[in-house]
Structure 1
Amino acid sequence: MSDLKDEKTVGLAAERKYKPVRRIVTGEDSQGRSMIVTDGPTPNVTITSFASVAQVPWATGLAAAPGDDPAPAGHSFGFHSEGGSLLRIADFPPDEEIDTARLAEFLAKNEVLGERPGRHFWFHKTHSLDYAIVLEGEIFAMMDNGETLMRAGDVLIQRATSHSWSNRSGKPCRMAFVLLALPDGES
């Protein structure tokens, strides 16, 4: 698994404004009755060098941190979690605010650039099934051939294909991603 390298975590959160994701985790008490175990801001926050923010409320599989909290502050995640799932809330700034040189370095270091160059700076390809849900704002889902505008409530099923996200709205877009690593040959 590749780590999201050259990224800074929670300590930089104060430097760039973002809306924390409230994370509520359930569990059981000593008698086996359900209860709320924690309720507060998602501790795992990544402020990228290229202008986006990603918060990981939960993870399962090989990328999960050991212990009671699989997504603690400072834990580094790749694009997915082998043998499990990753829940990521990502804030995409407008395209004009992205540091495209740093984004290109990030995608190259994480080996997700795909087999051919894309027509937009966010083009990448991961070997995962992704459920991408727009929570706030709007964004274009771009494929090698074609694109579609997504708005709050829209869901894209990304099946290990080359794709990009283009925010042309002039305002931030918040998306939820459920990322599932795929065994070889599946999509």
Structure 2
Amino acid sequence: MLKPIRRIVTTNTAEGRSRILSDGPSPHVLETASHRGLIDLWAMAEGGPDTATPDGADRPVVLAPARGGNTFRIFQLPPAGVGENDRVLSADVFARMGASDAHDADAKHPNMHCTRSIDYIVLLSGRVKLILDEEETILEPFDVVIQRETNHAWQNLSDQPAQLIAVLIDTSSGT
């Protein structure tokens, strides 16, 4: 099960005074398999910020951000060894995230994928291996990855689910 993430969204009243619009767990969750999934916190489509939208994440939870937009999310990886080398499960997970085309099913790791985005990622909890085509590195909490349209996979090395936070910015119109 994914850990619920409290999300506080603010707004302005008609008089221009700030207040809380919503406060509670983000309802925009895609739990794909055994402690693995995405929790979208906010998203913007092409055209820039829209402060009138009460819930920017109220859309299907998919891997890639909308064209010209961005996505702010938490993602969770299952404990080490849980479904790790299951290529059929990985293909299903990427299909459920609307990302079959991003999935590299024949790569060295079953979860290798590449999206048309620049991603700013911070490991919040756990110990995770970042797997690239030519090398790998170990991440500790608060390590930061700038993922630039590169084929990659994540592998949790700890015995508890690992959580990462990410901002994904679409690059499909710029490259």
Q: Same fold (TM over 0.5)?
A: yes
The residue number in structure 2 matching 1:88 is: 73
- In structure 1, distance between residues paired with 2:125 and 2:149: 24
Q: Give 5+ residue unaligned stretches, structure 1.
A: 1-16
* Residue 19 of structure 2 is aligned to residue 35 of structure 1: yes
With over 3 angstroms needed to count, the CA separation of the structure-2 counterparts of 1:78 and 1:148, relative to structure 1, is closer
How far is the alpha carbon of 1:76 from its aligned partner? 3.5
* Residue 37 of structure 2 is aligned to residue 53 of structure 1: yes
With over 3 angstroms needed to count, the CA separation of the structure-2 counterparts of 1:78 and 1:142, relative to structure 1, is closer
Structure 1 residue corresponding to 2:101, chosen from 100, 111, 123: 111
- In structure 1, distance between residues paired with 2:93 and 2:43: 21
Residue by residue over 1:30-75, the C-alpha shift from the partner in whole angstroms, topping out at 9 and shown as x without a partner, is 111222211111111111046512110111006xxx9522223x73
User: Structure 2 counterpart of 1:55, which letter?
Assistant: I
User: Structure 1 counterpart of 2:57, which letter?
Assistant: A
- In structure 2, distance between residues paired with 1:49 and 1:173: 14
With over 3 angstroms needed to count, the CA separation of the structure-2 counterparts of 1:18 and 1:50, relative to structure 1, is closer
User: Structure 2 counterpart of 1:112, which letter?
Assistant: A
Task: Name the SS for the 2:115 alignment partner.
Answer: coil
The residue number in structure 1 matching 2:83 is: 98
The residue number in structure 2 matching 1:136 is: 125
In the superposition, the TM-score normalised over structure 1's length comes to: 0.79
Counting matched residue pairs gives 165
The residue number in structure 1 matching 2:172 is: 183
User: Structure 2 counterpart of 1:54, which letter?
Assistant: L
Does the 8 Å contact 1:50/1:102 carry over to 2?
no
User: Structure 2 counterpart of 1:169, which letter?
Assistant: S
User: Structure 2 counterpart of 1:150, which letter?
Assistant: L
Residue by residue over 1:123-178, the C-alpha shift from the partner in whole angstroms, topping out at 9 and shown as x without a partner, is 11111101111011110111111111111111100000011101122221100111
Q: Give 5+ residue unaligned stretches, structure 2.
A: 47-51
Task: Name the SS for the 1:177 alignment partner.
Answer: strand
Task: Name the SS for the 2:68 alignment partner.
Answer: coil
Does the 8 Å contact 2:34/2:78 carry over to 1?
no
- In structure 2, distance between residues paired with 1:54 and 1:78: 8
Does the 8 Å contact 2:28/2:41 carry over to 1?
yes
- In structure 1, distance between residues paired with 2:62 and 2:20: 25
* Residue 149 of structure 2 is aligned to residue 160 of structure 1: yes
